[in-house]
Structure 1
Amino acid sequence: MLRTTIGLTLILASSAIATEAIDALHLKQYDKAKTLLLQQPDSLDKLFYLGQIAYFEKDLDKAEQYFQQVVDNDNANAEQHYWLAKVSLSQAANASIFSAPGYARTAKQHFEESLHINPKHQGSLKGLIRFYLHVPGIAGGSVDKAEQYARRLQNVDQIEGSMALLNIYEHDDNEQALTTTLAHTLQQHPNNARVLTKAGFIYQQRQDYRLAFDYFSQASAQYNQSQESSYALSALYQLGKTAVLSGQNLSAGQQALQSYLKQPESPVTSDLSIELPSAAWAHYRLAQVLALTDQTHRAQAHLRQSKLRNSDDKALEKRLKQEAKKLNISL
């Protein structure tokens, strides 16, 4: 096999089928992407994209094989080391207590190698933040080191770094640092849907539903006004959830969920860190809002819609049964 991707990228780039395959991958149409890629000549790029598909399909061992082949033949590519590290970190999370440390060390090694090649690689900076934050101290975990990498990330992307710091302070239960950093970030980015949504989540967790609703409202208003549309949609859903949790702003919560259900169910987002709630969850939340306003018949209809749209989500299935029992209705 060749030891460089020079020329190999051109093989894929010059192929309409390959372009279609990559587009399908970005749209999460993994079967289609895989079928199209397998029609392409052998190349490191082909292995690289097949590795991504295997990762997203949670076939971590196969993903590791693909990415290891790529790195073995091209050791100077930051993105390839990043993906191999990402797979190893996922393997660590799913491994036994005996195997997990080895996977974690491999992940750390490749994240560091990625940053050695490209010190501004955001994915690897985030990866090392996750490593130091979630790995036990006895295995090398360190909140201080996680914070150091978050500040490095701030120098590359201010919002990404600030979000990382907020996550670290939440994880460490450092309320003072969390409040101070949030206030500073909101001051710097008052109209950013991602920052506003994060503020909403923080206050929702604190059960300060008035402020949570206010920040989610501001975030949802940014839909179609910024590149952070996925966060604005998330905030729209959270308006409904906050209305349920607080028992307040029920009319606004109902309208927000109805608007959410009118949007595409799986909007395309370049940020893989955000996963929007499904239509099944939105129907369930809307049913809860309607039940709180004594619209039991309409609530029943949305519970049935939620059940119909649900696919193997055991947590939602349990919630639906509980809500139906509380309302004394059948599904």
Structure 2
Amino acid sequence: MKFFLLLFLLPIMAFSQSNLDDVDALFQKKQFKKAEQLISTYLKTDPNNLQAIELLGDAHGHQKKWDAAIIQYEKLINKKVNNANYHYKYGGALGMKALSISKIKALGIIGDVKEAFLTAAELDKNHIGTRWALVELYMQLPGIIGGSKSKSLHYAEELENLSKVDGYLAKGYVYEYDDAPELAEKYYKMAIKEGGSLTCFNKLTNLYKNENEPQKAIKNIEVAHKKHQRNALHYQIGKVAAEYNVELDKGQRCLQTYIKNYSAEDGVPKAWAHYRLAQIYMHKKNKQVALKYIDLAIAELPKIKPFKEVRERILR
């Protein structure tokens, strides 16, 4: 449920008050504690500002302070009961709390999670995030407490009516979760054809990896690269090659290309590319070169445990 419930954390920056102008920048820099302090100070002078309350809830959520986020979103619901997005965020915070506590304790709040999402869906027939949350919720809940594949598919259908890409991705998710990989593959491919975003490609790639079909995963990433021309996809190919011991030469070339063209926008630090190269050279039984690359990885990020473990394996 995490992937789509985290959508409720997206901030809303529509403030005109000058003392909140910096909040957007703080969120962009992921300085959520500072944002929380700034908004809390503002709310002392204007405690009924709904946008400020909502943003404070978002700041708490980014810090995984679920109880604090729940309090803020509950205030919003009490002040404006017919706002679908407030119910959605409230349900999302409750859902994330349920994931962070024991299953027995979580049972006590699952009903509130469901009620919040269903209320949001009823209030806004076009609310995509709520329908995604319901798709995931009904698939992940055991049947004895209300889980239902048919209900998940119902909301996936509603999503498809609102956005074909979201509908196809939702159906792919349902069938992947239900251990029906052929149907999941079908809908993920439909999503790629309809939308073609990196998210669509990543869903299909992850399906292939989970089904232990690394060659198909690599081929799919290559198609994604032709469309999007992202350097990060070179790393993804190298990662699959290294993890599954397939197409090692291709994986090696892609990782070296990734390192050569690296920029901060690529996301994954170069150290991880060096780590994957070390894995590839381990598969090739080339101890000397593997050791060279793992030492580069450790020099860049010395506290990463898998790097040290691989170095020990190389030396053995």
Q: TM-score range by the shorter chain?
A: 0.7 to 0.9
Residue 35 of structure 1 is matched in structure 2 by: 37
Residue 204 of structure 1 is matched in structure 2 by: 209
Structure 1 residues 27 and 257: CA distance shift in structure 2, 3 A: farther
Give, in whole Å, the separation in 1 of the partners of 2:130 and 2:78: 19
Residue 287 of structure 1 is matched in structure 2 by: 278
Q: Percent identity?
A: 24
Give, in whole Å, the separation in 1 of the partners of 2:232 and 2:131: 25
1:264 has 2:269 as partner = no
Amino acid at match of 2:30: K
Q: Provide structure 2 residue ranges, at least 5 long, that are not aligned to the other structure.
A: 1-11
Amino acid at match of 1:323: V
| TM-score, with length taken from structure 2 | 0.82
Amino acid at match of 1:213: I
Residue 315 of structure 2 is matched in structure 1 by: 328
How far off its partner does 1:56 sit? 1.5
Structure 1 residues 22 and 79: CA distance shift in structure 2, 3 A: farther
How far off its partner does 1:103 sit? 1.4
1:69 has 2:75 as partner = yes
1:304 has 2:304 as partner = no
How far off its partner does 1:14 sit? 1.6
How far off its partner does 1:186 sit? 3.9
Give yes or no for contact 2:169–2:187 (8 Å, CA) kept in 1: no
Give, in whole Å, the separation in 2 of the partners of 1:263 and 1:297: 25
- Comparing 129-138 with 196-205, which one deviates more in the overlay? 196-205
Give, in whole Å, the separation in 2 of the partners of 1:46 and 1:32: 14
- Comparing 31-40 with 57-66, which one deviates more in the overlay? 31-40
1:47 has 2:53 as partner = yes
Structure 1 residues 282 and 113: CA distance shift in structure 2, 3 A: farther
Give yes or no for contact 2:165–2:194 (8 Å, CA) kept in 1: no
Residue 169 of structure 1 is matched in structure 2 by: 175
How far off its partner does 1:87 sit? 0.7
How well do the aligned residues superpose, as a CA RMSD in angstroms?
2.7
How far off its partner does 1:34 sit? 2.1
Give yes or no for contact 1:130–1:146 (8 Å, CA) kept in 2: yes
How far off its partner does 1:202 sit? 1.8
In terms of fraction of residues, the more helix-rich structure is 2
Amino acid at match of 2:72: Y
The one of 13, 16, 19 equivalent to 1:14 is 16
Amino acid at match of 2:27: L
Give yes or no for contact 1:283–1:305 (8 Å, CA) kept in 2: no
How far off its partner does 1:199 sit? 2.0
Residue 220 of structure 1 is matched in structure 2 by: 225
Q: Provide structure 1 residue ranges, at least 5 long, that are not aligned to the other structure.
A: 1-8, 225-231, 268-275, 311-316
The one of 241, 246, 249 equivalent to 2:247 is 249
Structure 1 residues 177 and 300: CA distance shift in structure 2, 3 A: closer
Helix, strand or coil at the partner of 1:46: helix
The one of 142, 146, 154 equivalent to 2:152 is 146
Give yes or no for contact 1:128–1:146 (8 Å, CA) kept in 2: yes
**Which residues of 2 match residues 313-324 of structure 1 at below 5 A?**
317=305, 319-324=306-311
Give, in whole Å, the separation in 2 of the partners of 1:306 and 1:287: 14
Helix, strand or coil at the partner of 1:211: helix
How far off its partner does 1:205 sit? 2.3
Give, in whole Å, the separation in 2 of the partners of 1:171 and 1:260: 32
Residue by residue over 1:216-237, the C-alpha shift from the partner in whole angstroms, topping out at 9 and shown as x without a partner, is 122234446xxxxxxx566443
Helix, strand or coil at the partner of 1:173: coil
Structure 1 residues 171 and 22: CA distance shift in structure 2, 3 A: same
Report which structure shows greater RCO (CA 8 Å, sep ≥6).
Answer: 2
Give yes or no for contact 1:286–1:302 (8 Å, CA) kept in 2: no
Residue 4 of structure 1 is matched in structure 2 by: none
Amino acid at match of 2:275: Y
Structure 1 residues 88 and 280: CA distance shift in structure 2, 3 A: farther
How far off its partner does 1:27 sit? 4.1
Residue 5 of structure 2 is matched in structure 1 by: none
Give yes or no for contact 1:197–1:235 (8 Å, CA) kept in 2: no
Helix, strand or coil at the partner of 2:264: coil
Give, in whole Å, the separation in 1 of the partners of 2:209 and 2:40: 46
Structure 1 residues 38 and 304: CA distance shift in structure 2, 3 A: same
Structure 1 residues 254 and 327: CA distance shift in structure 2, 3 A: same
Give, in whole Å, the separation in 1 of the partners of 2:247 and 2:31: 38
Give, in whole Å, the separation in 2 of the partners of 1:233 and 1:165: 29
Give yes or no for contact 1:284–1:306 (8 Å, CA) kept in 2: no
Residue by residue over 1:223-269, the C-alpha shift from the partner in whole angstroms, topping out at 9 and shown as x without a partner, is 46xxxxxxx5664432111111343333442344455562326x7xx
Count of aligned positions: 296
Give yes or no for contact 2:15–2:51 (8 Å, CA) kept in 1: no
Residue 8 of structure 2 is matched in structure 1 by: none
